[in-house]
Amino acid sequence: MKVLVPVKRVIDFNIKPRVKADGSGVETAGVKMSMNPFDEIAVEEAVRLKEKGVATEIVAVSIGVQQAQDTLRTALAMGADRAILVLTDVAVEPLGVAKLLKALVAKESPELVILGKQAIDDDMNATGQMLAGLLGWPQGTFASRIEIADGRAAVTREIDGGLETLSLALPAIVTADLRLNEPRYASLPNIMKARKKPLETLVPGDLGVDVTPRLATLSVAEPPPRKEGIKVASAAELVARLRNEAKVI
């Protein structure tokens, strides 16, 4: 079973993003970039499926600038077999990413695509769902457990009331939630080995996809600073302050 894992290069989750001086977006120049954390979980799950003998090949895909190669090398060091970079300077929106992935699915014929549930830069939480819609494949989003057997994927997902398990006919789309697994660190020998693994570069035109954005960002601003909070001594004081100072009750 071939598994496709899309991985996005985003600002490292430890870094506090800064808005560009002209308010046109978030500053990425000179900022540490890493693999989207949910995508690390997706890669880890694919590697575990391979270790169990369920998956036979893992193909990591990234859509982005040349430096997204580093993100792909990380996926290769974690255990992916080969990588595809779809090179573009455009900040491709989820629908564009889903269209590119659909074209890659046609080219690669995976039986499972594991994405992150969301990319932590734009928090869109849309690409997996759009890809499932475009392909007409079943989807299991926010997976906290995946079991593959008899041509089906049992996907356990965290929902408001508890846990739900879906049985999806393969091929299928799964998106990874935080509790699916704990991703491994790539070891130095595996980082060295990853340098020799195949990495193919395409451009959106090779896949027949127009990635021109459909949304325009009007402005990006820092959230207003929060006022310092206070401690109250009693419920009565809280009510009095809410009534007389905050004037909210």
d(CA 56, CA 183): 19
Residues 159-218 that bind ligand AMP (CB under 6 A): none
Q: How far is the CB of 88 from ligand AMP (least distance, A)?
A: 9
Binding residues for ligand AMP, how many (CB under 6 A)? 23
As measured in angstroms, the least distance from the Cβ of 128 to ligand AMP is 6
Q: Residues 99 to 128: which contact ligand AMP by CB under 6 A?
A: 115-116, 118-119, 122, 124-128
Nearer to ligand AMP, 215 or 248 (CB): 215
* Backbone φ and ψ of 117, nearest 5°: -70, -30
Asked whether the beta carbons of 237 and 243 are under 8 A apart, the reply is: no
Minimum distance between the CB of residue 236 and ligand AMP, rounded to whole angstroms?
46
Interactions with ligand AMP, residue window 63-82 (CB under 6 A):
63-64
156 binds ligand AMP (CB under 6 A): no
Angle at 77 between CA 86 and CA 145, to 5 degrees: 85
Residue whose tokens read 């601003």: 221
Residues 18-37 that bind ligand AMP (CB under 6 A): 36
DSSP letter for 23, please: S
Gap between the Cα atoms of 100 and 122, Å rounded: 18
Binding ligand AMP (rule: CB under 6 A), the pick from 33, 34, 35, 39 is 39
Task: Look at the block and give the residue holding tokens 């954390």.
Answer: 37
Write down the least CB distance from residue 125 to ligand AMP, Å: 5
SS3 content of the chain, % helix, strand, coil (to 5): 30, 25, 45
- In terms of DSSP bridges, do strands 2-6 and 112-116 run parallel, antiparallel, or are they unpaired? parallel
Q: Which is nearer to ligand AMP, 1 or 124 (CB)?
A: 124
CB of 116 to ligand AMP, least distance (A): 2
